[in-house]
Amino acid sequence: MRAETAARVRTILGHVMLMFGALITIFPFYWMFVMASNTTGDIFAYPPKLIPGSHLWENMNKVFDGIDFWGSMGITVVAATAVTFLVLLFDSLAAFAFAKYDFPGRRVLFWIVLATFMIPMQLALVPQFVTLAWLGWVGSLKALIIPGAANAFGIFWMRQYAQGAIADELIQASRVDGAGFFRQWWTVGLPVLRPGLAFLGIFTFFHIWNDYLWPLIVMTDPGKVTLQVAVQQLNGVYTTDQSMVIAGAFMSVIPLIGVFLIGSRHFIANLAAGAMKF
């Protein structure tokens, strides 16, 4: 009886701690909404207003006046979608080859893929920019899309996934039917890899959507920037109107939270699985 009570107390204490932690993590989102829906004067008054107000539309409209919100959103959506599509295409092709086919140099090539993990992207930041300048891509969407169109993480992750998910018998059967590599990739590989591709796709999309340093450097035309850079420009110019700036931040975050909440369970489980494979 006593042991049972002790266990119950421990469970309750555990929940109190977890709940407290969750409140702290979620609070900034609530506070963002509070700030975005009040006037700057109200939030920074003393004591500050702690509940959502009625100025959200007004602040959002000011954002549209301050930056080309939809234009930046368009650039971000196009870049993130294009990169995601190319990453899924190139990484799944490479992963399929690495996982299921033996060809001379396979081990060495895969080792090189893994080794590229180790190089911090910032090391080559300056020469990468110079390379793009020479190609004449600075300021264009190509600069956002092409350099990230295939990545080592995706190949590694999809290869692990393919090794477990695709049965050799399936490939042998389709080979007997006369299918070549690309046909096998399309008809046998892709359908089986779909859950893995879904995760890699969302992961890549989030990554490109949220990226800041790279677009900040390569999108040199002030009127043609990604959402992250545009929101930060808003912050730099209108620091006195915090509510409006936060409304811009709010608008840039909402699509991400929406997408995440829809696929969160799947996404988190895959992320954990990916880390455990290292």
Partner 1 sequence: MSFTETLRGSAGKLRGNAVKPPPDGSRPQPGWRRYWPMYAAVSPFFLLFAVFGVFPVAFSIYLSFMSWDGIGDMKSIGWENYEYLVTDPDFWQSIANTLIIWVLATVPMVFLALVIAYALHTTVRFKAFYRVAYFVPNVTSIVAMTIVLGSVFSDSSGLLNSMLRVINAGEVGWLSDPWAMKVSVAAITIWRWLGYNTIICLAGLQAISSDVYEAARVDGASNRQTFFRITIPMLRPVILFVVITSTIGGLQLFTEPQVMFPDDSGNVGGPGGEATTIVLYLYQQAFIFNRFGYGAAIGWALFILIAAFSIINWRLVAGRSEDATGTGKGKKKGKGRSRAR
Nearer to partner 1, 170 or 206 (CB): 206
Q: Which stretch binds partner 1 (CB under 8 A): 63-71, 170-178, 192-200, 254-262?
A: 254-262
Nearer to partner 1, 188 or 246 (CB): 246
Establish if 228 lies at the interface with partner 1 (CB under 8 A).
yes
Task: Judge residue 216's burial from the number of C-beta atoms within 10 Å of its C-beta, 0-12 exposed, 13-18 middle, 19 or more buried.
Answer: middle
Establish if 151 lies at the interface with partner 1 (CB under 8 A).
yes
Q: How far is the CB of 42 from partner 1 (least distance, A)?
A: 11
Establish if 37 lies at the interface with partner 1 (CB under 8 A).
no
**What is the total count of residues that contact partner 1 (CB under 8 A)?**
100
Q: For partner 1, which residue of 85, 153, 186, 206 counts as binding (CB under 8 A)?
A: 206
Q: For partner 1, which residue of 191, 261, 262, 266 counts as binding (CB under 8 A)?
A: 261
Distance CA 100, CA 15 (A): 46
Question: Scanning residues 156 to 185, which ones bind partner 1 (CB under 8 A)?
Answer: 180-182, 185
Nearer to partner 1, 57 or 182 (CB): 182
Tokens in use for 250?
A: 């709010």
Q: For partner 1, which residue of 130, 167, 173, 262 counts as binding (CB under 8 A)?
A: 130
Establish if 150 lies at the interface with partner 1 (CB under 8 A).
yes
Q: Which among 66, 100, 114, 244 is positioned nearest to 170, based on CA atoms?
A: 100
Distance CA 251, CA 245 (A): 10
Crossing angle of helices 2-36 and 56-66, in 10° steps, is 60
Distance CA 207, CA 255 (A): 14
Q: For partner 1, which residue of 57, 64, 70, 212 counts as binding (CB under 8 A)?
A: 212
Question: Scanning residues 17 to 36, which ones bind partner 1 (CB under 8 A)?
Answer: 17-18, 21-22, 24-26, 28-29, 31-32, 35
Nearer to partner 1, 29 or 57 (CB): 29
Q: For partner 1, which residue of 74, 139, 147, 201 counts as binding (CB under 8 A)?
A: 147
